[in-house]
Copies of this chain bind each other. A is one copy, B any other.
C-alpha cells in the first residue's frame, strides 16, 4: 500500500468516526450544557490516532472496521476526557488546545471537570451496550480499557508526570510516565482490534510489545516536535516543555540521542509487528506517519 492509500484510509475513517462521535452524545437524555461541553471537545479535531490504530488492526486481521465504531468512539471519549482534565488550571493550565480555547475557558472549570467525568463514564456504557459481539469480548474490552486508562495506566502516568515536574528524572522514570500516560491507551487501541478479531494469544502478546515501543516512539516524537515543530502546525507554543522545565527525552539524551532512541523504538516496534499473523501494512504505514508527522 502506498502513502496515497494511507491518506484515503485516514480520510474515510476519520469522516466516519467524526459523524458517529456526536451522535452518541446527541442521543443522551442529559442537560444541554453538559452535552454541549462534551461535544465541543469531541469535535475539536485531532489526529484520531487511536481509532485509526484500532481500525488498521481490525483490517489487518481481515475484519470490517465498522463493527468497531462504538469502541473507537469510546476510545476518543476517554482520550478527550483526559485532555479536558489535563488542561484544567489545577493541572497544565492550558488556555488553548489544537488552536481553540480549552474546554474550561469556554464552559468554566466545573462544567469542564464534569464533562470529562461524563465522557469517561459514558465510554464504558457504550462498550457494555454494543451489539453483535460476545459478552466475553465486551468484558475483555472493558477490563483492558479500564486498566489502560485508570490508576495502573493513564491516570498513574499522569500523576507520575506531575510528581516529576521540576525534578530531574531518570530515563527509567521518564519511560514509566510515557508508557502509562500515553502508551497504555495507544496500546488499548491495538489490543481492542485484536480482541474484536479473536486474535490468538501469541499475536496479542506481540502486539502488546509493538504498542509499547510505538507509544514510547510517539512520545519521543512529541518531545522532539516541541523543539523542532512550528506553532501553526502544533496549535500550541513551541518550546513549552523547556519553559516548564519538563523532563523530556531531548533534555536527558540531547536532540541527537532522542532521535536515535526514536529510531530504535520504531525498529523494535516493527520487528514485533512483523511477527504477528496479520496483514500489517496499514499499521506499519501509521507507524511511519507517527514518526514523520509535523504536529
Q: Which residues of A contact B (CB under 8 A)?
A: 28-31, 33-35, 38, 81, 85, 88, 90-91, 108-111, 113-114, 116-118, 120-122, 124-125, 128-129, 135-136, 138-139, 142-143, 146-147, 149-152, 155-156, 158-160, 162-163
* B-chain residues with CB within 8 Å of residue A111 when the two chains form the complex: 159, 162
Contact A31 B160 (CB under 8 A): yes
A75 CB to nearest B CB, Å: 14
Besides the known contacts A88-B90, A129-B143, 8 further A-B residue pairs in the complex with CB atoms under 8 A apart: A30-B152, A30-B156, A31-B163, A85-B114, A85-B117, A88-B110, A91-B113, A125-B146
CB distance from A154 to the nearest CB of B (A): 8
Q: Which of B28, B29, B128, B147 contacts A143 (CB 8 A)?
A: B128
Query: Is A156's CB under 8 angstroms from B125's CB?
Result: no
Assess the B117–A120 pair: CB atoms within 8 A: yes
Contact present for B33 and A159 (CB under 8 Å): yes
CB <8 Å contact, A147 and B125: yes
In-complex Cβ contact of A139 among B29, B135, B147, B159 (8 A): B135
A121 contact from B129, B135, B150, Cβ within 8 A: B150
- Which of the residues B110, B156, B159 comes within 8 Å of A162, measured between beta carbons? B110
Known: A34-B156, A34-B159, A109-B90. A125 touches B139 (CB 8 A): no
The complex places the Cα of A136 from the Cα of B138 at a distance, in Å, of 10
* A139-B138, A143-B129, A147-B125 known; A152+B28 contact, CB < 8 A: yes
CB distance from A230 to the nearest CB of B (A): 30
Cβ contacts under 8 Å, A120 to chain B: 117, 120-121
Give chain B residues whose Cβ lies under 8 Å from the Cβ of A143: 125, 128-129
Knowing A28-B152, A136-B135, the reply to whether A146 touches B128 (Cβ < 8 A) is yes
Q: How near does chain B come to A39, taking the closest CB pair, in angstroms? A: 11
Cβ of A222 to closest chain B Cβ, rounded Å: 20
With A34-B159, A155-B34 known to touch, is A91 a contact of B110 (CB < 8 Å)?
yes
Q: Are A150 and B125 in contact, CB atoms less than 8 angstroms apart?
A: yes
Contact B150 A122 (CB under 8 A): yes
* A34 shortest CB reach to chain B, Å: 4
Please tell me which one of the listed residues B31, B109, B142, B147 contacts residue A142 in the complex, with CB atoms under 8 A apart. Answer: B142
- In the complex, which residues of chain B have a beta carbon less than 8 angstroms from the beta carbon of A125? 142-143, 146-147, 150
